[in-house]
Amino acid sequence: MFLGFILIGCKPKKQLPIVQSLHSNWLFHHPEKQQWYPATVPGNIFSDLLQNKLIEDPFIGINEEKVQWVSKTDWTYRSNFAVDKNILYKKNIVLNFKGLDTYANIYLNDSLILKTNNAFRSYSVDVKSILQKENQLQIEFSNTQGRELKAKEKLPYELPEGNRVFTRKAQFQYGWDWGPKLNTSGIWKNIYLKSWNDIVLSDVYISTNKLTKEKAILQSEVTINSEYEGSLKIITEVGKQQYSNVIDLEKGIHKYTIPLVVENPKLWWPHNIGEPYLYNIKIQLIKDRNVIDQKIMRYGLRTIELVTEKDSVGQSFYFKVNGTPVYAKGANYIPQNSFQSNVKKTHYEKLLSNAVDANMNMLRVWGGGIYENDVFYQLCDEKGILVWQDFMFACAMYPGNNNFLNNVQQETIEQVTRLRNHPCIALWCGNNENSEGWHRWGWQTGKTDVQKKEIWGNYLKVFDSILPHTVNRLSRQTPYWESSPKYGRGNSKYKTEGDAHDWWVWHDGFPFEHFQENVPRFMSEFGFQSFPSFETINFINQQDSVNINTEAIKSHQKHSRGFKLIKEYMQRDYPVPTSDEDYAYVSQLVQARGITMGIEAQRSAKPYNMGSLYWQLNDCWPAISWSSIDYFGNWKALHYKAKKAFNNILLSSKIEDNHIIVQLISDLPFLFKNDLFLKITDFNGNKFWSQKKTVNIQKNSNQIVGKISLDSLRVNLKKIVLVASIDTIENSYHYFVKPKELELKSHNINTKIEKVKGGFLIKLTTNSLQKDVFLHTKNKGHFSDNFFDMLPNHTKTIFFETKEKSLNNLKIKTLNSILQN
């Protein structure tokens, strides 16, 4: 029974479980050299080999192909460690492995204690009877290739796409069209001992039963593993409120429900429409006036809904947070490094801050990568970023034998349980493009009807049964979506129902204007490639000057038609430079033009369309790819321009029925009034037409605020620009012809540089419009804005954040200068 009251009295003493990390004294064995070398844990075999100078850096040059032998080799790790008597005297001692990649036999003091077969699962072993004062832990990793071939031989048909489908680990490590083939092995997450006597707190799940402005009614589901039977006090702190409950504890593993009420609750919101407020929560187990275990967490009060309702054209697809429709703006996220152990908290902090800086409120964690580390979701909670979370299945059909299904079941239980308290989790999605691939990519060719039925039946076992049932049971307040996209682009319904992946642009060579004419309900993937920063190109080549025609650069382009498509699209819209530096620069302009054209078209169709997530935010290695931020964290043109396209207030212009239509899209949850300025000028600043008017900007709205007849513009369209602005946002520019057709003038840009705290202020002026102004320097740092357009006789001020003490090598490129060459 429960006896609820506010706790008053002496502060209890802590006698918490003892946790001992086992990250020291690790060695790995090189089978060819028959030697043991120092290893880093957590880590992976590639990083350990590199640290011991046994391989060359796979991220440089063509070294990737030189290290393929590593993935085909079996590796052994071992560590000697001592255990304090305070641990040995405990009744329960468990050895925990948070992540082993992937097939491993584990020996403690020469006793086989565990076999593993899933890099996405954690494993725990009772070692009370084996543990000694001095111990040796040895882990023997088998390469994945042998296991996969054996599994493949058991099937009378071949499963698409390759043998990777038999192994539960990061699928992108087998190679993707943006990433290398670096199939890792090793101890990729923490190993530790945990010891206690009678009682341990296994898990806490907090759910919101009712949420109003006046009151939040919560439920805390506490899982306790106990060898003790009797009364136990549970103290729960939510912010400044504190509750105490006494339960009748039973032996074994049991769940206990604690009701909680928060008065006048503060809600968690996506950062662009409110504060992502988090409550500090502490749950303590008290026995004999001692705290015997506790869990500390941060929790956001919010409701989340995926609204899929039939309407006159199909079916909606959008998210509601706290009952408010939210337009999703963001990108697809992939692992930040092929070697996950190299990703530190600073990397997460920087990348997620960059997402917020670009006005993104949602990231999709793509299904070919990993379930991210806790810090990723904690930072998304803090920063107010919604997370579309794929389960780790991508672009393939998977086996359906009992062992595989049981393995997936346990993986799903663990990951949903781990992440369900995070307010950032907006959706669990079963897979990436598996359904589309089966129905549209020719995967059924050559299969008998019986085989097709079996393969699709196995698909349904996972994505229509195991995953949704687990999510509904363990995280009942988070929606589940079977597959992304709902329909492939070959099905006309891809524009009217569900989420869409539109790869007509790029893969099928359709022009960027396709995005304007084909807007789906929710765009969860669309993208275009570009070259990375000069820094990244030079790192790949290990040179000081930009050269994009090397074997090293070719090896870092993983799409078979990548270079060809970049050039084809460039020829359509831009001049094609002969200089490598200029070519890399223009490739970024091409990418940014195409994707922001899509973003604006999608946002302009609100509320028919309620989401725009482009492919992709980041890179896992130095590459020519679809990312908007390259491997070294440099913003490409796309990220700068996406920041403006994702602004809460967007002014977007388009030509329709011989008129220029100006739309104002607001994602703000309130209405306000502001002055709108429209003007058409030539590139010297001479004004041909202008208008100023006050507009009432409705909350969460899309409205037409300007309409100009093209017939009234008796000027050369190659020499003019429409500038739209309101006080709260930067100018929006609309050009009437393709960039390569603009008759831009090449003029000097005057610069004035001032040293300030944290970097430099750069003030720029010019006598004629300068398009896509690109500032670059070899100094490491970040420009507050870049790839921007400058109006004549206006001052543009940029902050360059850097630790450097001088800025002597600032250089500037513009589209103007490219057109003059």
Q: What is the pLDDT of residues 131-160, one digit of tens each?
A: 999 999 999 999 999 999 999 999 999 999
Q: What is the pLDDT of residues 32-47, one digit of tens each?
A: 889 999 999 999 999 9
Tell me: pLDDT of 6 over 60.
Answer: no
Q: What is the pLDDT of residue 1?
A: 34
Question: For 577-585, what is the mean pLDDT?
Answer: 98
How sure is the predictor about 10, in pLDDT bands with cuts at 50, 70 and 90?
Answer: low
Tell me: pLDDT of 3 over 70.
Answer: no
Q: What is the pLDDT of residue 32?
A: 85
Amino acid at 22: L
Give the chain's mean pLDDT: 96
Task: State the Rg of the chain over Cα.
Answer: 29
398 vs 408: CA distance, rounded Å:
11
Q: What is the pLDDT of residues 767-801, one digit of tens each?
A: 999 999 999 999 999 999 999 999 999 999 999 99
- In 3D space, the residue among 459, 441, 452, 392 whose CA is nearest the CA of residue 419 turns out to be 392
CB 83 within 8 A of CB 20: yes
Q: What is the pLDDT of residues 198-251, one digit of tens each?
A: 999 999 999 999 999 999 999 999 999 999 999 999 999 999 999 999 999 999
- In 3D space, the residue among 684, 680, 678, 685 whose CA is nearest the CA of residue 663 turns out to be 678
Tell me: pLDDT of 8 over 60.
Answer: no
- In 3D space, the residue among 334, 361, 268, 346 whose CA is nearest the CA of residue 643 turns out to be 361
Q: What is the pLDDT of residue 821?
A: 80
Tokens of 511: 């022009």
Q: What is the pLDDT of residue 570?
A: 98
Q: At what angle do helices 345-357 and 374-383 cross, to 10 degrees?
A: 30
Q: What is the pLDDT of residues 281-329, one digit of tens each?
A: 999 999 999 999 999 999 999 999 999 999 999 999 999 999 999 999 9
Tell me: pLDDT of 502 over 90.
Answer: yes
Q: What is the pLDDT of residues 681-701, one digit of tens each?
A: 999 999 999 999 999 999 999
385 vs 272: CA distance, rounded Å:
9
Sheet (strand 750-756) strand order: 750-756, 759-765, 796-802, 781-783
462 vs 402: CA distance, rounded Å:
11
135 vs 344: CA distance, rounded Å:
30
- What percent of the chain has a predicted confidence (pLDDT) above 90? 95
362 vs 386: CA distance, rounded Å:
4
Q: What is the pLDDT of residue 558?
A: 98
The dihedral of CA 544, 549, 550, 555: what is its sign?
Answer: positive
